[in-house]
A and B are shown apart, each in its own frame.
Chain A
C-alpha cells in the first residue's frame, strides 16, 4: 500500500532536469513533450492562418500570390502533419492509454520516445524548406505541379516522410499495448471507449501511413531522378498520384477524428453522470469507420479525370461512412437524455463538437454526391466542410480533452470561468469564420486564390474577423492553462467523479501510474 511519502513522488518530480525529459521513456512525460511540441506547431500553423485571412480580408493584394501560396501550403502541412494527426493519439493518447488500461507504460517505451524524435526531426526538415524558397504546392503535393516547381517541395516531402514514421511507431505501440497490457479483469468490452478510438486509429496508422511514405518517395524519385511515375511526358499518370495520396490521406482524416470521437464518448458519459448508451455500438462503429475509410478515397478525385464508373463506386461507398458515424452521434445524444448534465468546460467542448461535427458530416454527404461535388469541388464550400470536421471536430475534442485531463496531468485545477470564456470565443469565432465560407463556395468562390472579385468582399471580411476571434479565444485558453499551471488550486484525484481507471490514481500519477495493480470487475462507466 502507498504511504504519505510515496504519494509526494509523481512522474513530474520522479527525475529532474532537461536531460531526464529528453531521455525519458515514461509515457506520461512523452505525452507532455508531445503536448508542448503540438501546441508550438499549432501556434505557428495558426499564425499562417491569420496571414491567409489577412490577405483575404479585402480584395486586392497585401502579399504576393507566390507568398500567399506558401502561407497556404505551410498552414495545411503544419496543421495536418504536425498538429491534428499527432494531436490526440500521440499527446492525449500517450498520456491516457496506459492509465485507461491499468498498465504501467506502453508496450515499447523506447520506441515511444523514438516516435517523438521522428516528429521533431521531420518537423525541422519541413521548416528548413520554409526558408529554402518555401514550398508552394499545398499540403497535397499534387503532380504535375509538384514535379515542375523548383521551390522547397523535396524538403517538405522528406519532412512529411520522416513524420510518417512517428505515426507508424505510435500506431504499432498502441496496438501492442491494447492487446498485451490490459490489467486483470479488463476484456475488450471493459475498455473505455477512448481506447477503442485509439485502437482503431492505430490500425489506420499502421496500414495507411506506409502508403504515404511510398507516394512521397515516388514523387522524390521522379523529381530527382526523372523516373516517370506521374509525369505524362515521361509516361506517368498524374491521377495515379492522387490515388496513392488519398489512399493514405482519406484514412488520415479518420486518424484525426476517431480518437476525437473517443474523447467525446468519455466527456459525455462523465458529465452526464450516466452510463454510455450503446457501448458496443459505439465501439464497433469505431472499427467500422476505420475499415470503411479505406474504400472511399476516390471521392477526392471526382473531377480529376477519374473514370465515371470509379466515381459512381466511390460516391456510393462514401455514403457508407455516414452510418457508423450517425450511430455514434445518436448514442451520444441518447446518453445525455435524462442525464444529470454538468456544463463544465470539457462538456461545453463536447457539445460544441456535436454541433459542429454534425454540420461537417452532413456537408460531407453533400460532397460525396458526385453531381454536387462537380459544382462544389475546389470552392470554399470544401474549405468550410473540412474545417467543420477538423477544427469543429478534432480541435474541439482536443480542447475538451486538455481541460478534462489537465487536473490529472499536472495535479492543478484551472480557472473554469476563463475556460468557458475561451470556449465561447472559439465557438462563436469558428462559426463566424467558416459558415460564410459555405455561402462563398456555393456562390463559386474558388479556394487557393490570393484575390477575389468585389462581390465576395463582405463575407470574406466577416470570415477574417471571425478568425481573429478564434485567435483571441486560443490566447485566452493558453492564459488559462499557464495560470492553472502556475497558480491553480491543488486538484483532487478525481475532480469530475469519473469512473475510468486514470481517476483511481493520484493527480498527478506516480512514475508507474498505480500504487497497486488495478483489477477491473465491471464496465468502465458504471454511473447508474
Chain B
C-alpha cells in the first residue's frame, strides 16, 4: 500500500536472530541454569535484556524506526506513563513507615 515501507527480509531475519540470541542469553544468565549470580543485579540484567528485545520488536517488526514520528511519540508517552505509575507507587512503598512503627 502507498505510504507503507518496504519490508526488508534481511533486516527482519537479522532481527529474528538477534531476538533468539537474546533469549538464549536470558536463559544462560539465569542462576538455576548456569549458576551465574550477580546478586541484586540479576533483576537488572534480566530486565535489561527484555527491554532490548522489546526495543528491537518495536523498531523493526513494528517499524517504528522508519515510520511517522508521531507513532514513536505515542509509544514513548505510553512507556513514560507506565514508568510514572511504577515510580510514584514505589516512592510510596519504599518510604512507608514500618508496620511496627509507633507513628
Contact = CB atoms under 8 A, between A and B. Distances in A.
Interface of A: 179, 207, 211, 237, 239-240, 243, 247, 294-295, 297-298, 305-310, 313-314
Interface in B4-25: none
List 5 tightest A-B contacts by C-beta distance, closest first.
Answer: A310-B92, A307-B95, A309-B95, A307-B96, A243-B89
A298 B95 contact: no
B96 A247 contact: no
A179 B70 CA distance: 10
Contacts of A314: 88
B88 A310 contact: yes
Interface in B61-96: 70, 77-78, 81, 84-85, 88-89, 91-93, 95-96
Of B77, B85, B92, B93, chain A has the most CB atoms within 10 Å of the CB of: B92
A442 to B, nearest CB: 27
Contacts of B88: 295, 297-298, 310, 313-314
A439 B85 CA distance: 35
Contacts of A297: 88
B83 to A, nearest CB: 11
Classify the secondary structure of A's interface with B: helix
Contacts of B78: 207
Interface residues of B, number: 14
B1 interface: no
A295 B78 CA distance: 14
B40 interface: no
6 contacts: A207-B78, A306-B96, A307-B96, A308-B97, A309-B95, A310-B92
Contacts of B84: 294-295
Given A207-B78, A306-B96, A247 B91 contact: no
Interface string B19-45: 000000000000000000000000000
Contacts of A243: 85, 89, 92
A133 B84 CA distance: 38
B89 A207 contact: no
A294 B96 CA distance: 22
A211 B85 contact: yes
Contacts of B92: 239, 243, 298, 306-307, 309-310
Contacts of A239: 92
A305 B96 contact: yes
B91 A207 contact: no
A206 to B, nearest CB: 9
B12 to A, nearest CB: 26
Contacts of A298: 88, 92
A310 B95 contact: yes
B91 A294 contact: no
B95 A294 contact: no
B81 A310 contact: no
B1 to A, nearest CB: 14
The interface centre, meaning the residue of A179, A240, A305, A307 with most chain B CB atoms within 10 A of its CB, is: A307
Given A294-B84, A294-B85, 13 more contacts: A179-B70, A207-B77, A211-B85, A243-B89, A243-B92, A297-B88, A305-B96, A306-B96, A309-B95, A310-B91, A310-B92, A310-B95, A314-B88
B74 to A, nearest CB: 9
A307 B97 contact: yes
A314 B95 CA distance: 14
A207 B81 contact: yes
Nearest to A301: B92
